[in-house]
Copies of this chain bind each other. A is one copy, B any other.
Amino acid sequence: MSDRTPAPRGSADPGSSGRGLSALGHALLGLLHEQPRSGYDLCQLFATTPMARFSSSPGAIYPALKQLDTRRLIVGTRERAASLRPRQVYRPTPAGLAALTAWVSKPVTRDEVIFEADLLMLRFVFMDGLVRPAVARRFLETLSGLVDAYVRELEAFLPTVRANSRRHGALALEHGVERHRLLAEWARRALNPFKAPRRSPRKTTRTARSRTT
C-alpha cells in the first residue's frame, strides 16, 4: 500500500485567490448551485437531511460562506433589507461555478476512494447538470476500477488477518471487502445509462429523458 499523496496545497484554482477550498467550501458551492440559499437554509439542510453526513454547525458554515464571498465565488442578495438582521441569499458567481466544475471534474484517486468516499459521492451528485455526461461517465469508470483494485488489496490481507487476529478482526475486514464490492457494483450500475444508447442514428428522444420535473 503506497503512502498518502502530499497534495500540492496552495496553487492556483480557477477564479479564486489564495489556496484551495475546504471540503465544506465545495459542498456549499454545490448546494448553492442546486438552488440559492441562506446560511440558515444550509444549516437546516445539514440538520435535517442525509446531507448531515457532511455535517456542520453554524460555527463552520457562516465563516465558510464569508470566505466564499470574499473570494467572489458566491454573491449574496439581501432579502428583508430594511430589517436589522437581513437574510442573505447566496448563489455561485461564474467563478464559483468554474471552481465547482473543476472540483467535481478532478480525477478520482485511490486515496479518495479510501479516505473520502463520501466526498466522492458528493462530487458525483453535484456533477449532475453541471458537466458533460462524458465527465460523469469517466468518473464512474475510474471509480469502479480503483475500487476493484482496493478490494483486491483488502483481500490480500484476509489470510493474514484470519491467521493472526482474533475473529472480530477478520469479520471487520470482510465487511470492508463487501462494502467496497458494493460500491464498485453501484458504480457499474450507475454507468449503464451512459452505455445503453450506442446504436440508432436519430438523436434526442432518449437524451430528453432527464428533464422530467
Q: Which residues of A contact B (CB under 8 A)?
A: 1, 3-4, 34, 47-50, 52-53, 55, 114-115, 121-122, 124-129, 136, 153-154, 157, 159, 162-169, 171-176, 178-179, 182-183, 186, 190, 193, 210, 213
Of the candidates A34, A47, A48, A121, the one having the most CB atoms from chain B within 10 angstroms of its own CB is A121
B163–A213 contact, CB under 8 A?
Answer: yes
Q: How far is the CA of A167 from the CA of B127 in the complex (A)?
A: 10
Q: CB distance A53 to B168 under 8 Å? A: no
Indicate the member of A47, A50, A121, A136 with the most B CB atoms within 10 Å: A50
- B residues near A3, Cβ cutoff 8 Å: 47
Chain B residues contacting A164 (CB-CB under 8 Å) are: 213
Report if A179-B182 is in contact (Cβ < 8 Å); known contacts: A52-B1, A128-B166: yes
Determine if A190 and B173 form an interchain contact, defined as CB atoms under 8 angstroms apart: no
| Inter-chain contact A176/B50, CB cutoff 8 Å | yes
- CB-nearest residue of chain B to A164: B213
CA distance A183 to B178 in the complex (A): 9
A172 touches B115 (CB 8 A): no
Q: Give the complex CA separation of A23 and B125 in angstroms.
A: 30
